[in-house]
Chains A and B, each alone.
Chain A
Amino acid sequence: MAKILIVEDDPDMVTALRIPLEANGYEVFTAVSGEEGLQKVKEVGPDLIILDVMMETTTAGFQVSLQLRSPDPKSEYAPYRDIPILILTAIHTTTSLRFGPDEAYLPVDDFVDKPVDPDVLLQKVRALIERAR
């Protein structure tokens, strides 16, 4: 059973993510801050990380992804560098046409827009875990 770590400070958003994931057999772990997220990565060794951007600071999620993907070979997170990261974005898509992770700046693998569509979430989660294997 694949393990998924959700790093998100809004408990209701965690619920909205957890329900479809658990309904599809994923084992879900949670953290409510960037700091706790990094700690849980080491504890749990997840197969995928779902990361909110705005938590204790407006860029806490980016900081987490930057730490996890640090190119420094001595980084304490080096063993976790290849865990796929799915980021939750709050940029509204009705009029904003350019969004999503920019590889030059943001070391993440894919994004899911808020409000989250559970079908889209599952599809992306499946694809990323598949790819990482």
Chain B
Amino acid sequence: MGLSQVLNCLAAAAAKVLSMEVATVLLLEETEDRLTVAAVYGVDARQPVGVQFVAPLTPSPVILVEDARVDPRGVPFPPDLVSAVCVPLGVEGRLLGWLCVYGPRPRQLTLEDGERLKALADLGGMAIQAARGLADLERIELSKSQFIRVATHELRSPVTVAQSLVRTVLKGYTGPLTEQQQEIFARVAGRLDFLESLVNDLLDLAASRAPELAEEEGPAAVNASVGRAVLLLQPRAEEKGVSLTVHPCREELAVWATEEGLDRIFVNLIGNAVKYTPSGGRVAVSLSREGETARVEVADTGIGIPETSLPRLFEEFYRAPNARRFDIGTGLGLAIVKELVDRYGGRIEVESKVGEGTTFTVAFPLWRPM
């Protein structure tokens, strides 16, 4: 729950607790010299109400006003509200603001009324503190993602230029190469290609953690996304001598996601299956609908994942020992997949046996038009 939701709930609960018509939450600004209305319940942003009423900027006792028109304290009230209970909102002895409720009629108020509201305010203070902490964390996470995005864009450019230059040499456009030159340039090209995929994966990971950086989510077709991924990876599978087949689902499986995100998930999962399956093996992708769930299964007859590696599989940069020996990889693909599956409200499961193969299953809640 975000801070504004917490404040709105608190205002609504305050009005209900004392059966009063209007409630406001006032928060101290960062400078601690001013209160502002952070949430209002019962009227349209009746801002001046609370601010005029609550002057104290330090923790103070409960304020009860039974009838403002005759109150000796001369509190300024708008004409249509006359009674009020105000309690400080605090946490660990620090004042965060005030919680106030108002009524349009004079009302007899007891200290018990004040205590009931104070109990709610104490809970509210903790909720506000927690929501603020969460918002801070989200801000940090976002700026981290933005940093990674800028950094990776800056890294990508020189890498792609270097790749382009090396290719002109490797492909003989600068004249014939000796066997040794050919071999060395091929190694340079290989390293640059790896660097490129590392930068791309970091960029994907940053994007998957900051929805602000990605396209807006909406209904997206799983069938089409799997089709695109298979089309992209089929040449690689053929080149390796791995059979890549799809068992399609006749029904359209739409889920709430982005097409780009779904593509990343399936390119990573099917790409891994092709990569870690030796020549002569099989990769089978099956789509199905189970109740309100869209399921995609990617099963291979590859090298498998050791049981001890399974718990760490989705960690960034983690690679199972047999995978390290088998082929190069960034160790980021499954971390990206997990982030995205979680974001779209899905689940991912893996079953594997070393030397026999691996099956990844992802399941997403189906999207239904209203």
Residue contact B164 to A95, C-beta cutoff 8 Å: no
Q: Mark B152-184, 1 if CB is under 8 A from A, else 0.
A: 000011011111110110010110000000000
Interface residues of A in 89-110 (CB under 8 A from B): 90, 92, 94-98
Selecting from B13-21, B130-138, B260-268, the interface stretch reads B260-268
Residue contact B173 to A115, C-beta cutoff 8 Å: no
Residue contact B167 to A116, C-beta cutoff 8 Å: yes
User: Bound complex: CA of A79 vs CA of B202, how far in Å?
Assistant: 45
Q: Which of A13, A92, A115 has most B Cβ within 10 Å?
A: A115
Interface residues of A in 34-71 (CB under 8 A from B): none
User: Bound complex: CA of A17 vs CA of B164, how far in Å?
Assistant: 8
Residue contact B163 to A115, C-beta cutoff 8 Å: yes
Q: Which residues from B are CB-within-8-Å of A95? A: 200, 204, 263-264, 267-268
Residue contact A97 to B267, C-beta cutoff 8 Å: yes
Question: When the two chains form the complex, which single residue of B196, B203, B231 contacts A115, counting CB atoms closer than 8 Å?
Answer: B196
Of chain B, the residue at the smallest CB distance from A115 is B163
A12 to chain B, nearest CB (A): 5
User: Bound complex: CA of A66 vs CA of B228, how far in Å?
Assistant: 30
User: Bound complex: CA of A32 vs CA of B248, how far in Å?
Assistant: 49
B333 to chain A, nearest CB (A): 9
B66 at the interface (CB under 8 A from A): no
Residue contact B260 to A96, C-beta cutoff 8 Å: yes
A82 at the interface (CB under 8 A from B): no
A117 at the interface (CB under 8 A from B): yes
Known contacts A13-B161, A23-B173, A92-B200; decide if A97 and B263 are in contact (CB<8 Å). yes
B259 at the interface (CB under 8 A from A): yes
Interface residues of A in 10-28 (CB under 8 A from B): 10, 12-13, 15-17, 19-20, 23
B362 to chain A, nearest CB (A): 16
A53 to chain B, nearest CB (A): 12
Interface residues on B, range: 20 to 34
User: Bound complex: CA of A90 vs CA of B196, how far in Å?
Assistant: 12
B126 at the interface (CB under 8 A from A): no
Q: Which residues from B are CB-within-8-Å of A118? A: 164, 167-168, 171, 173
B140 at the interface (CB under 8 A from A): no
B258 to chain A, nearest CB (A): 11
Q: Mark A111-132, 1 if CB is under 8 A from B, else 0.
A: 0001111110000000000000
Residue contact A115 to B267, C-beta cutoff 8 Å: no
Q: Which residues from B are CB-within-8-Å of A90? A: 156-157, 160
Query: Which label, helix, strand, loop or mixed, suits the secondary structure of the B interface?
Result: helix
Query: Which label, helix, strand, loop or mixed, suits the secondary structure of the A interface?
Result: loop
Contact count A vs B, C-beta below 8 Å: 72
Residue contact B156 to A96, C-beta cutoff 8 Å: no
B240 to chain A, nearest CB (A): 17
Residue contact B200 to A16, C-beta cutoff 8 Å: no
Known contacts A23-B173, A90-B156, A97-B232; decide if A16 and B268 are in contact (CB<8 Å). no
Known contacts A95-B268, A97-B229, A98-B259; decide if A115 and B160 are in contact (CB<8 Å). yes
Q: Which residues from B are CB-within-8-Å of A19? A: 168, 173-174
Q: Which residues from A are CB-within-8-Å of B259? A: 98
User: Bound complex: CA of A130 vs CA of B203, how far in Å?
Assistant: 38
Q: Which of A13, A15, A16, A20 has most B Cβ within 10 Å?
A: A16
A89 to chain B, nearest CB (A): 11
Question: Which A residues lie at the B interface, using CB under 8 A?
Answer: 10, 12-13, 15-17, 19-20, 23, 90, 92, 94-98, 114-119
State the 7 A-B residue pairs at the shortest beta-carbon distance, nearest first. Answer: A115-B163, A16-B164, A114-B160, A116-B164, A115-B160, A97-B228, A19-B168
Contacts A10-B157, A12-B161, A98-B228 given; 16 further ones with Cβ under 8 A?
A13-B161, A16-B168, A23-B173, A90-B160, A92-B203, A94-B200, A94-B267, A95-B200, A95-B204, A97-B231, A97-B263, A98-B263, A114-B160, A115-B163, A115-B167, A119-B171
18 interchain pairs, CB-CB under 8 A: A16-B164, A17-B164, A20-B171, A23-B173, A90-B156, A94-B200, A95-B264, A95-B268, A96-B263, A97-B267, A98-B260, A98-B263, A115-B159, A115-B161, A115-B167, A115-B192, A115-B196, A117-B171
